[in-house]
A and B are shown apart, each in its own frame.
Chain A
């Protein structure tokens, strides 16, 4: 699946939810299913501090593809992290750099990626792209 297709799949998943609370219940379920990052991986370098909640991001480059694992102390943030990882995992650094994250807006969660949210998510996406750029340079 291409990154576009992965995003469309998520949009389709969310299309069944009209009610905001149902949407968030689903995100929270997702958050609970995202594996917790091992304590030894939650280092200072991997921490992205937000005003509202913290995010930890671990990155791996294997056979030219990037793999992310992440965690947050807030479960809603973790749910959205789960979606971002679904989209970006197993993609080349070049694809990640060029990727436009349209699904977040389409499923009504644009506020979570806005700078005013200060929940670490926007910073996390920026860091994912930075790590992709660094991997490209290697």
Chain B
């Protein structure tokens, strides 16, 4: 399908949530890093599924079950194409990014030996830290952390020094949810592979901002959440190279992931169902497929350019504020502007912005080690999507000025 020419106005029309008012003011939704709003077509898909297409999948002989199974598997193929995976067997439906990472930590982690090393970075989200901590405890491995600069960029020299034949897996975020930093993942993946390490990309923030081609990136795993890419909550994807997934034992046991069950032993299904135990979030998967199809109708290059422009515009204005410090000034970043203001607590700023209709996030953004590194209690974070506008940023700036007046007086 040919994408339509990019028009923020035309896109906004498709998102009913953006038309609402909060506290009597038009909602300005700048919390897309936490979750995205949903286009009408996804809402319609969900309603339609439950009204007319609902049935359990992979096990029925009747019409509805075949319809539901077809729709579920069509969503899988659509997602496979969208991220450039070679086969649908490489696309596992999970509950979300956190679930996907836990799956890899458990299942890939089974092969680890004492003394093996897992490498992560100092800018990771808790979901890409804690599963590895749990794994290292279980398997007596070492967790090592690639440091970052005060600008929020990876120390590439330190990274190379930390790689060795002990490194079994490197798990890193593609785009930082707190800093907006875009990591040079293609290069990093190539270097990690040279020492025989596998690489997991946390794509929670990149799936909606960049064009993803997993073959080109050559990552071994790529994880993302449906709700951050205009789809429903409770559904996500783990992409894994087929040959690698084939060597991994099951994560959860139950229906669908089996081939044959007896009380003596059970045998397991082939990919992708080996990793999809139990009845999945069928509506969620189909809804996610619909969200991905929606993205195919958008000129994503233009959308990405628009988001970058918004980021630069916001950052440019905020840079002129006295006492305001941007946290995350990587040369290569997008869609996230995190900041703190001298003598003002992020919670106070966020609350006053909220009462003026502006939704931002405050706090540690599930990156407590990052806050410790910058020695701050938290930040105010504005995170943009392609449906945000410069006018919204102007309103946000005025509201921020007013908030600062009240707090500073």
Contacts and interface: CB of A to CB of B under 8 A. Distances in A.
Interface of A: 20-21, 24-25, 28, 51-54, 73-77, 119
Contact of B345 (A25, A51, A74): A74
20 contacts: A21-B355, A24-B351, A24-B355, A24-B406, A25-B406, A28-B406, A28-B407, A51-B363, A52-B347, A52-B362, A52-B363, A52-B378, A53-B345, A53-B377, A54-B377, A73-B377, A74-B345, A75-B407, A77-B347, A119-B347
B225 interface: no
A53 B347 contact: yes
A77 B348 CA distance: 8
Contact of A21 (B345, B363, B377, B402): B402
A25 B407 CA distance: 8
A112 B363 CA distance: 15
Interface of B: 23, 345-348, 351-352, 355-356, 362-364, 377-378, 402, 406-407
B27 to A, nearest CB: 14
Given A51-B363, A73-B345, A75-B348, 7 more contacts: A20-B355, A21-B402, A24-B355, A28-B348, A54-B377, A74-B347, A75-B407
Contacts of A75: 345, 348, 407
Interface pairs A-B: 5 shortest CB-CB: A74-B345, A74-B347, A20-B355, A52-B347, A53-B347
Contacts of B378: 52
Contact of A24 (B347, B352, B362, B363): B352
A81 B23 CA distance: 24
Given A51-B363, A52-B362, A52-B363, A20 B23 contact: yes
A20 B402 CA distance: 13
A85 B180 CA distance: 41
A75 B363 CA distance: 15
Contacts of A52: 346-347, 362-363, 378
B347 A76 contact: yes
Contacts of B346: 52
A55 B378 CA distance: 15
Contacts of A119: 347
A113 B345 CA distance: 19
Nearest to B399: A21
A82 to B, nearest CB: 14
A28 B355 CA distance: 14
A84 to B, nearest CB: 17
B352 A74 contact: no
Contacts of B364: 51
